[in-house]
Structure 1
């Protein structure tokens, strides 16, 4: 009979292995990566698998090293650099076993100079769910038939910058940074340390099989602030932590809240959500309406905002109206400009009451100081410099 393995103690060892070679930006990252390693051994127990993304603004931040260490701990690792979508979905459909895909230099696929990669993006999105498949035509000429290739697999990526939003929202994101002079790690030597990682991998495989019954069908309790897509991302990791026991359930939930909060702070959302948020937090401050010309002046003057340079030109009234028209007011009609009477005459503009419903539905919570972060403008009583 196989001896039972202490799951909490084993995860502690896996975490310590990562700490030897990686400097992650915070404690939550070590916990998340350790749980992700373990979850890769039990994919068939979950409805979805989170992508693990090591991202940084500059090279030399330890992303590739992090993937190297992960590679030693997960089942059937497949290192993919510039791999085609066709090669990946055929690998996932391999009857000999599903690989764990490790995609380094992902910015060469999705970066600003990489062009369109909708096929690969579609594969990564579809493979997030257990039911995900990729459809392809098989055969020659008029004898082609449509075949569904399973896409569900664990994927870890590393790269510069960010990923497409559709992948970022399905990911546990670790924002890597260069080591400070006082931060030291052990040099990773494949000939020496791969074997150590493989021993841990084999024990992880053994423990996850022992924990399969408790993980299968588990619905782990989520932190109160984690819902919707982030809950889907973290559900497998929390299930693993609960199965391990010890202090891992508490540590996992603390890490979950920390990383989800950080992702929301870094997430600017779509351009439309960014527009709504900037209107709420920086433009319509202390006023119930503003002429379009005043709104554009304020938006284009914002620091660290995209409005002054959208495809080489500033946001104009046509694009502003088109973007806001995609959202609905509380009466379920598109947000439109209306007449605003000012000291200089009647001008077209937008009313805050028309935006309130969209703000509540799409925007993150407002900053604490938003009510005093700008000087109110009173268009109805003061002349505008037009």
Structure 2
């Protein structure tokens, strides 16, 4: 066998011989058909709207911070504070054993959901997210009582006590979860966007996922399909820096997540997710782009969660000093509060808002604790579509 191989090699012309032969051979003019086939596709210079990888970010950068009125900023502040106090109470109820299963709190990330969803049309657009979902529902103005009842597995819960913390759902508000499988909500979000396009209802889907889910293969399959079909979807990476507990730099080769749509001609936006005014402004730019029929947008919201990944996570992978540093310098609620004081809102008014929200959260907790659990027959409802 070795001899045969050597014979074959001996008959194979060397690269030097090949080059010499190529010089002697007359050049042949390729046919027009072959020339056309070999002609490289024209590359976009970024000037066309469907490949505005830079222009979209530039449009945002020119007026990064939204100049809110006092009333607008008060609304943002109240919603963020409601999410913060609600999540703190949920943590307490979990510690008391009133919330079963997993529980992922949104403390620190409030500006993301509030800022982004303030730019949506609730009667037209849809939202889908992962399992850190309480804040998104509260940002949409859904009653805290039915959310807390769902957390505690009560019949009065928004999913009749069957979804719990991770799988809340409300077709009435076009909120489609709450999904426990990492990254699975992204292709589902593309499906919702396809429905908007198919029905010609003018709506779009906002699909949230985290920095950990950003490395899932199904996310990139979805990017490709969404761009190919020009779907009205805003992909949102909530980069809270640690996924389940591994720092971004240790798990992702490309840590600038907003760039990850480039291969699919999806424009990206890099946003400070701790500043609700900046988030709102970015959302307006992204939503306008998508509503204009320009296809999907990928937004990276750089944020930070103060608690562990879930209630069972002691978060020993970071220092207390790091968390405290973010709280002192970048807390979204404190930043909004400082801005309100500049706009002439006095401390007494802010204290009254705090008092009202604490009362609302306490009422939601009392409602949840006193509501009955679902009947066993509830196990068999909403399993299949139609009457079976």
**TM range, smaller chain:** under 0.3
What TM-score comes out, normalization by structure 1 length?
0.27
Determine which structure has greater relative contact order: mean sequence separation of CA pairs < 8 Å that are 6+ residues apart, divided by chain length. 2
What TM-score comes out, normalization by structure 2 length?
0.27
The structure that is strand-richer by fraction is 1
